[in-house]
Amino acid sequence: MTTEILRLDEVTVKFGGLVAVNQVSFHMNKGEILALIGPNGAGKTTLFNLLTGIYTPTSGAVLYKQQVVNKLKPYKRVEMGIARTFQNIRLIKNLTVLENVLVAHQGCNSESVWSSIFLSKKTKENRQAVVNECMEVLKIVGLESKIDEFAGNLPYGEQRLLEIARAMATKCQLLLLDEPAAGMNSQEKKQLVDVIRSLSQKYNIEILLIEHDIRMVMSIADRIVVLDHGKKITEGIGSEVQNNPEVIKAYLGEDI
């Protein structure tokens, strides 16, 4: 049985007179990898900002785990299990790889001042458990051997993988990846695809990704939603989308 995790119901986002997202509806099932594609300005990033609580819909509803979250603050959505990465890398460059992941871990932020001062056995055990969980994610993204390197010293592709590890450390259930392959070479992209698959399988999470590399999208996504000028023009599995005349027209900008 498929369980629905996320639903957008006729969602519209307007910036003054500009309709960035126009009555868009789609859903995501448990464990699914869904890709959001479309030409520049199609409304993809606006949708991500809507899902993370940066924007509220002008009309329509966003339901996460059957709950309307239209007005829920971003930090509340993180607590509910929604995490994201950004198009431009936002690591803390002068912290180590492990420290970058540790600061994102929910467990690190729940320690009281007193438990930090007195360091009880339980506090020490909790801290070790947090480190172990972070190490587990770092292993999956292939950065296990680089935990003591400064994030800013990592090659570009590894910085992007570290961003994913950081999002995972929030213990997310829905992972939003905003152009994770941007600027990567083909070897780094291959590694990224393996990482996304491993995370999906190991943690049984949902992954929604915006990606311009269509070949990568086809190889990794269970389903694809296509936006153009704020509207959903189609959705389906790779072969359905690839051969859709409206999709070809949106990308090539001409009738076929």
Q: In the complex, which residues of this chain contact ligand ATP (CB under 6 A)?
A: 15, 18, 20, 38, 40-46
Considering the complex, state which of residue 197 and residue 212 has its C-beta at the smaller distance from ligand ATP. Answer: 212
Smallest gap from Cβ 26 to ligand ATP, in A, equals: 15
Sign of the alpha-carbon torsion through 218, 222, 227, 230: negative
Q: Using an 8 Å Cβ cutoff, are 118 and 173 in contact?
A: no
In terms of CB distance, is 38 or 157 closer to ligand ATP?
A: 38
Output b/e per residue, 133-161; b: 16+ Cβ within 10 A. Answer: bbeebbebbbbeebbeebbeebeebbbbb
Q: How far is the CB of 176 from ligand ATP (least distance, A)?
A: 12
The nearer residue to ligand ATP, 43 or 157, going by C-beta atoms, is 43
Give me the numbers of helices (H) and strands (E) for the chain, helices first please.
10, 10
Q: What is the dihedral of CA 191, 196, 200, 206, to 10 degrees?
A: 180
CB of 20 to ligand ATP, least distance (A): 3
Nearer to ligand ATP, 52 or 191 (CB): 52
Considering beta carbons, is residue 21 or 175 the nearer one to ligand ATP?
A: 21
Q: Which residues contact 5 (CB under 8 A, 6 or more apart)?
A: 28, 29, 30, 32, 64, 65, 173, 174, 206
| Minimum separation from the CB atom of position 13 to ligand ATP (A) | 8
Residue 28 CB, shortest distance to ligand ATP, in Å, is 18
